[in-house]
Amino acid sequence: MPDWVTSGRAETPETVAFLSGAALAHLHLVVRRDDVPQGLLRQRLALRAAEACVMRAGRSERAGELRDAVGFLQPGDHPGPAGEVTLSWRRAVERPVSVKALHRALNGALPTLAPEQIAILLDAGQGGPVARTATVLETVLAENPCDEAAALILAEAVLVQALGWNHIVPLLAVGLKRGDLRKRGEDLRLACHRAVIASAAEVIPLAADLARRAARLNAVAPKLRAKGAGAALELFLNRDAVAPSAFTSLNSDRASRRFCDRLVELGVVRELTGRDTFRLYGL
């Protein structure tokens, strides 16, 4: 992204809006690139969004702890408040934006809005994408001031829908500061524009890094002779972190662990926890 987008001094509302538009135009190219593992990019941004929401709520969990909270869940397990926020963001980015998908994403510890309410919010607001987004964010927070994560997920959905993107790409949740969510009207719109600029500066290098990592992973695929290796590699391109137990195509837990260790040896996958047991792996 050109340096003038992020280094320029946005002193007027017009300048802020212009720079955020430039940032979104560049991001539009990134989310259309085939060499970027889009599913993985959204998952990484969802983790950042969850961490930002948890921090604003005054909780101590950070990315590694949030990964642990959801990485080993079994049916019937409760991930805790921070884990629920993480699951909501993960579900929000998994499927194309729709009323049904958003209702599913918000159905947890976060208060659930009825599908009819979600549909109304998706069509609310006037003006450009960021202006519409700010309107929805303000509306939801005015009625539910403690439900920041739910409000941000809906706002992100409105933003990407206005941009013509299929999936939520979290931008506001990371870029907005704690005090920004208490703003209203023009002040909130300007904060959303600034959040887009700040987030774009992080998303674009992250996308480039993941594209390089995905290319290295695909390059070693012919060397992997394990049955089901192709399906296992696909998980790495779509998930932030994977436990060996998730590789059902590899027949056994032992085979899955050996497969992950082999990828680490080849330098195309990282072990993310630093532990000897209960490990998680990712690009």
CA dihedral 258, 262, 265, 269 (to 10 degrees): -100
Model confidence pLDDT, tens digit, residues 167-191: 999 999 999 998 999 999 999 999 9
Model confidence pLDDT, tens digit, residues 51-110: 999 999 899 999 999 999 999 888 788 889 999 999 999 999 999 999 999 999 987 645
Model confidence pLDDT, tens digit, residues 186-234: 999 999 999 999 999 999 999 999 999 999 999 999 888 778 888 889 9
Model confidence pLDDT, tens digit, residues 236-279: 999 999 999 888 878 788 889 999 999 999 999 999 999 999 99
User: Treating both helix axes as pointing N-terminal to C-terminal, what angle do 99-106 and 115-122 enclose, rounded to 10 degrees?
Assistant: 120
Residues 119-139 have a mean pLDDT of 91
Model confidence pLDDT, tens digit, residues 20-30: 999 999 999 99
Residues 109-117 have a mean pLDDT of 73
Q: Which residues contact 123 (CB under 8 A, 6 or more apart)?
A: none
Predicted pLDDT of residue 109: 44
Residues 125-139 have a mean pLDDT of 92
Predicted pLDDT of residue 203: 96
Q: Which tokens sit at 63?
A: 């990315």
Q: Looking at per-residue confidence, does 212 or 147 come out higher?
A: 212
| pLDDT at residue 42 tops 50 | yes
Residues 40-50 have a mean pLDDT of 98
Q: Which residues contact 10 (CB under 8 A, 6 or more apart)?
A: 16, 19, 193, 194, 197
Q: Looking at per-residue confidence, does 281 or 4 come out higher?
A: 281
Residue type, 62: R
User: For residues 276 and 128, what is the distance between their CA atoms, to the nearest angstrom?
Assistant: 50
Residues 112 and 99: beta-carbon distance below 8 Å: no
| pLDDT at residue 117 tops 80 | yes
Within 76-184, where are the H helices?
80-94, 99-106, 115-122, 129-143, 148-163, 172-175
Q: What is the DSSP letter of 250?
A: G
| pLDDT at residue 9 tops 80 | no
pLDDT band for position 8 (50/70/90)? low
User: For residues 54 and 58, what is the distance between their CA atoms, to the nearest angstrom?
Assistant: 7
Residue type, 176: L
User: For residues 129 and 161, what is the distance between their CA atoms, to the nearest angstrom?
Assistant: 8
Taken in order of first residue, the domains within the chain and their CATH numbers are 3-210 (no CATH), 224-282 (1.10.10)
Angstrom CA distances, 124 to 99, 102, 111, 158, stand at: 14, 15, 20, 9
Query: Which three-class secondary structure state does DSSP give residue 270?
Result: strand
Q: What is the DSSP letter of 242?
A: B
